Amino acid sequence: MNQKRPRAIIFDVFGSVVDWRTSLIDELTAFGQTRGILADWTALVDAWRGEYVPSMKRVAAGELPWMTLDELHRASLDKLVVEQEIKGLSESDLVHMTLGWHRLKPWPDSVAGLNRLKSRYIISPLSNGNVSLLVNMAKGANLPWDLVLGSDIFGYFKPAPETYLGAARLLGLEPGEVMMAAAHNADLKAAKALGLMTAFFVRPTEYGPAQKYDLEPRGDWDYIASDIEDLASKLGV
């Protein structure tokens, strides 16, 4: 009852708020049928997500200049289309597919949970997605953010400290007044090390039926919830 509460809650988005895997598999399967293009779309989506962390690490290491996640997604797709021998894709097809990340669908509890939280707390994504991706996603999925903090505001990807501390600075709050909420223990570990509060909820099928990681909390997080609606309940709204 007396547990400390944050002033603002910043959310990881891919996997935590939206179900990138099912969204992309469904969209690309329908797209392939419409366009008459043969591919193992599930394999493409899993490999595409597989490039996500390595591609950001190449930017963080200085092997690549700063670029947005949209640009990294496109570069990874170009590579995978060759590797997986997917034929017949036009330039506009590749643009459309890359923008599929702007059209991801929320988990069933996300919109209701965020609306409840918004009634008392400032809510924002803190995502490696760029602002335009996150804004287009929010418009399409009815995510009621108070503001949108994308990686291109900071010029860094998580888990760089500039992202977590930059969010607190822009919110005019101390790090300890801001809570990072995510389905990923590594994200929370980085936030906690900088003094932010933390909330974990599990998304057991984010990576499909054979998911091996992030099936349980692995840290001394301030709040542990079953989903975003449950987090709202635990935060008194």
**Binding residues vs a second copy (CB under 8 A):** 70, 122, 130-136, 138-139, 145-148, 150, 152-153, 169-173
Judge whether 222 and 55 are in contact, CB under 8 Å: no
As measured in angstroms, the least distance from the Cβ of 162 to a second copy is 13
Nearer to a second copy, 85 or 91 (CB): 91
Q: What is the closest distance, in whole angstroms, from the C-beta atom of residue 132 to a second copy in the complex?
A: 3
Smaller CB separation from a second copy, 10 or 39? 10
Instruction: Using the minimum distance from each CB to a second copy, give the nearer residue, 163 or 185.
Output: 163
- Please report the DSSP string for 25-46 in residue order: HHHHHHHHHHHT----HHHHHH
Calculate the dihedral angle through the C-alpha atoms of 46, 130, 111, 224, rounding to the nearest 10 degrees. Answer: 70
DSSP string of 58-82, one letter each residue: HHHTTSS----HHHHHHHHHHHHHH
Structure tokens at 21: 């895997």
Q: Write down the least CB distance from residue 170 to a second copy, Å.
A: 4
Q: Which is nearer to a second copy, 26 or 71 (CB)?
A: 71
Look at residues 6, 5, 13 and name the one whose alpha carbon lies nearest to residue 206: 13
To a second copy, the closest distance from the beta carbon of 184 in angstroms equals 23
